[in-house]
Structure 1
Amino acid sequence: MRIACLHTADSHIALFDATARAVSPTLELTHEVRADLLAAAEQAGGLTEAIAMQTRASLLALRSGSHAVLLTCSTLGPAVDDALAKQCAPVPVVRTDAALAQRALAHGGKVVVLCTASTTLEPTASLFIEAAKGTAAEVDVRLISGAWDLFKEGALPAYFSAIAAAADAAYADGADVIALAQASMTGAAERVTRGAIPLTSPQSGLAAAMAAAALAAEALEPK
């Protein structure tokens, strides 16, 4: 199975490749990095329709030769809408943040979602709160102040330490489940000392993309 990934950071390529090897030895990934889209969203203070249109165009282009397309940036996530899904059919488009939300909320209880980029906060909160409707889960979305600057500076050990400290604090506050909203945060999961290892978006996203691709293939089979 081949999944095409649209990233906004070069570092995500190695991260998702490593996750893919752990998920399935037969899973093949291709990658496109559009750091300019995230930079534009940060400059604009969030996702604009113009940036969303560029994102959709990139996702549509990635369909060729792929069984599914995976958007790995939570800031750009809202660009994936029903109209895009229809255009991409029969190749499904999956958001890592949506897959993460489904997995986190399935546990119920108090779900704390940690973000580091301010442009991710609003779309992540909207996504999780909407997904939580009709469930027994309580959602608390938090921004880790100053952490994103560490990432952009390349200070990854300090970045991961800040995230792990926030996760430990959330567990101390009574969190049942912690979800790390951005793929860049994945390296902090193993540094958390309280509670269960936080849920991360690469594993959730790839699993969801594989499942969606399998369903799409099944739907195309002659009855």
Structure 2
Amino acid sequence: MKIACLHTAESNIPIYEDAARELGLPAGALHHHVRADLLLTAERLGGLTTDITAETADVLLRLAQEADVVVLNCSTLGPAASLAADQSAVPVIRADGVLAETAVKAGGKVVVLCTVGTTIDPTTRLFEDAAKATGAEIQVRLIDGAWALFRAGEQAAYLASIAEAVDAAQREGAKTVAFAQASMTGALRLLTGSALQPMTGPLVALEAAMAAVAAN
């Protein structure tokens, strides 16, 4: 099985590899491609544009030519997955799409934490659409200042700010907490044992990828 993963940060590669090992995937099953420029351009322009969507879809389609399934791991670029899927001979998985479908299953209050401002609009649309089937109440929250810490390489402070946001969401009665970006996964290690474990994209995306290949 060959799973091609499109990332916008090199640091997300080990996160996905950890998830692959947890799922029992063989070494080398994941093939990583990084296009940080796509997210940087979206940030500079204030959000996803038609041109960025088209370019991202083109990258996904090229990866699909040599893979059994493709995973897009960027919530800002997420809508490009649907565009590519319509033209691809193999499944194209939108990581945050799978996360949204999983997070709303139990209904109730779902708090989606984000650290990148450009992902707020696509993430909100995605989770609200998924929630129509279950009646879940969606709250998408941007963790102020977190992305500046990430860009500055202050990883410990970045993850600490996320852990604080998780604690706040749980104090306010969230039934489910979801991390909109893979880069947030490391914050799980900072949560207390009694804290509700947030849902993360890498694990559910790879589970979906494996199921898609088995069904294809």
In 1, Cα distance between equivalents of 2:114 and 2:54: 24
Gaps of at least 5 residues in structure 1 are 217-223
Distance apart, 1:210 and its partner CA: 1.1
Q: What residue is the counterpart of 1:160 in the other structure?
A: 159
Q: What residue is the counterpart of 2:32 in the other structure?
A: 31
8 Å contact kept, 2:146–2:161: yes
Q: Which amino acid aligns with 2:183?
A: S
| Per-residue Cα deviation, 1:84-135 (whole angstroms, up to 9, x for no partner) | 223112x100011001111111122111000000001111001000110131
In 2, Cα distance between equivalents of 1:15 and 1:84: 24
Q: What residue is the counterpart of 1:67 in the other structure?
A: 68
Q: Which amino acid aligns with 2:15?
A: L
Verify: 1:54 aligned to 2:55, yes or no. yes
Q: What residue is the counterpart of 1:220 in the other structure?
A: none
Q: Which stretch shows the higher mean deviation, 113-122 or 22-31?
A: 22-31
Verify: 1:21 aligned to 2:21, yes or no. yes
Q: What residue is the counterpart of 2:184 in the other structure?
A: 185
In 2, Cα distance between equivalents of 1:190 and 1:215: 34
Distance apart, 1:209 and its partner CA: 1.2
Q: What residue is the counterpart of 2:124 in the other structure?
A: 125
Q: Which amino acid aligns with 2:38?
A: L
In 2, Cα distance between equivalents of 1:59 and 1:180: 23
Secondary structure of residue in 1 paired with 2:87: helix
Verify: 1:107 aligned to 2:145, yes or no. no
8 Å contact kept, 1:111–1:138: yes
Identity of aligned residues (%): 52
Secondary structure of residue in 2 paired with 1:56: helix
Q: Which amino acid aligns with 1:74?
A: S
Q: What residue is the counterpart of 1:10 in the other structure?
A: 10
Gaps of at least 5 residues in structure 2 are none
8 Å contact kept, 1:161–1:191: yes
8 Å contact kept, 1:190–1:197: no
| Per-residue Cα deviation, 1:71-90 (whole angstroms, up to 9, x for no partner) | 00000001122x5223112x
Distance apart, 1:26 and its partner CA: 2.7
| Per-residue Cα deviation, 1:32-59 (whole angstroms, up to 9, x for no partner) | 1000000000001001011111100100
TM-score by length of 1: 0.93
In 2, Cα distance between equivalents of 1:86 and 1:145: 36
In 2, Cα distance between equivalents of 1:102 and 1:187: 22
Distance apart, 1:196 and its partner CA: 1.5
TM-score by length of 2: 0.96
Moved over 2 A (4+): 192-195
Verify: 1:150 aligned to 2:155, yes or no. no
Distance apart, 1:202 and its partner CA: 0.6
Q: Which amino acid aligns with 1:73?
A: C
Distance apart, 1:22 and its partner CA: 1.0
Q: Which amino acid aligns with 1:200?
A: T
Aligned length: 214
Q: Which amino acid aligns with 1:133?
A: K
Give the alignment's Cα RMSD to 1 decimal. Answer: 1.2
In 2, Cα distance between equivalents of 1:195 and 1:47: 34
Distance apart, 1:19 and its partner CA: 1.1
Secondary structure of residue in 2 paired with 1:185: helix
